[in-house]
Amino acid sequence: DAKTTQPPSMDCAEGRAANLPCNHSTISGNEYVYWYRQIHSQGPQYIIHGLKNNETNEMASLIITEDRKSSTLILPHATLRDTAVYYCIVRVATGANSKLTFGKGITLSVRP
Amino acid sequence: DARVTQTPRHKVTEMGQEVTMRCQPILGHNTVFWYRQTMMQGLELLAYFRNRAPLDDSGMPKDRFSAEMPDATLATLKIQPSEPRDSAVYFCASGESWSYTEAFFGQGTRLTVV
């Protein structure tokens, strides 16, 4: 699986959009970009994933650059409950190599 | 509400004792992951099963750790003998391999070896 690079931490104000960047310059054509988050003392939670088109669900939006070498997770209206470690992961979707490998992630702190 | 169930939630044991952690994947999921999380190493993938067969256990110390799926509703992770450095939170996750959907994580087992 391709390696990802994320800043160690960032913060944002409650109610504002949080834009979490991720670099994955060595991503392969069959690898998806996944985002998970881990709130303190809980198991990781899936947020969203995409291949090359932008994606949106009830939790977040995922913007992937045209060359697929980077992406941004957007939480449109961050709340205090969004304070967590966010992991950007690239992986093939199926097959024996489709393991989910976590890096260090980015710690998002939402301030009141 | 379907979820992955892990037992026990907390375990304190003495060095040298055998520890067994259990995971009940979501019904119908055929992919199971075991992870270990520590402050120093973060989330480490230990083993990965599909249709009850191990696909990758390269992250697991082979001399003391073993992972099995006796049936489709139960995955186990055993440590024998346990050591203080095994103290960590162990997470199990399950998913469907035939689609691009997410892995669902359990609440974890917090293991302390004294």
Could you tell me the pLDDT band of residue B100, with boundaries at 50, 70 and 90?
low
Q: Which long-range contacts (CB under 8 A, 24 or more apart) does A44-53 make?
A: A44/A87, A44/A102, A44/B43, A44/B91, A44/B93, A44/B105, A45/B105, A46/B102, A46/B103, A46/B104, A47/A73, A47/A86, A48/A73, A49/B100, A49/B102
Say if residues B114 and B19 touch (Cβ distance below 8 Å): no
Q: By the CB < 8 Å criterion, does A44 face chain B? A: yes
Q: H or E stretch including B19? A: strand B19-24
pLDDT of residue B103: 87
Give the strand pairing for A9-13 and A18-23. Answer: unpaired
pLDDT of residue B78: 97
Instruction: Please tell me the distance from the alpha carbon of residue A59 to that of residue A78, in angstroms, as a whole number.
Output: 10
Say if residues A106 and A6 touch (Cβ distance below 8 Å): yes
Residue ranges of A 48-67 with Cβ closer than 8 A to chain B = 49
Query: Please, which residues have CB within 8 angstroms of residue A66's CB and are 6 or more apart in sequence?
Result: none
- Per-residue confidence in pLDDT tens, chain A, 112 aa: 568 999 999 999 999 999 999 999 999 988 899 999 999 989 999 999 999 989 999 999 999 999 999 999 999 999 999 999 999 999 876 665 677 889 999 999 999 9
Considering only alpha carbons, which residue of chain B is nearest residue A46? B102
Cβ separation B98–A94 shorter than 8 A: yes
Segment B53-87, tens digit of pLDDT: 988 888 898 899 999 999 999 999 999 999 999 99
Cβ separation A94–B97 shorter than 8 A: yes
Cβ separation B55–A32 shorter than 8 A: no
Q: By the CB < 8 Å criterion, does A93 face chain B? A: yes
Instruction: Please tell me the distance from the alpha carbon of residue A15 to that of residue A78, in angstroms, as a whole number.
Output: 5
Query: In chain B, what residues touch A45 (CB-CB under 8 Å)?
Result: 105
Could you tell me the pLDDT band of residue B99, with boundaries at 50, 70 and 90?
low
pLDDT of residue A62: 98
State the CB neighbour count (10 A cutoff) for residue A69: 14
Of B29, B13, B19, nearest in space to B112 by CA: B13
pLDDT of residue A100: 82
Q: Closest to A43 (Cβ–Cβ): which among B42, B98, B108?
A: B108
Beta pairing partners, B61: none
Segment B36-53, tens digit of pLDDT: 999 999 999 999 898 899
pLDDT of residue A95: 64
Q: What's the first-to-final CA gap in chain B, in angstroms?
A: 36
pLDDT of residue B58: 87
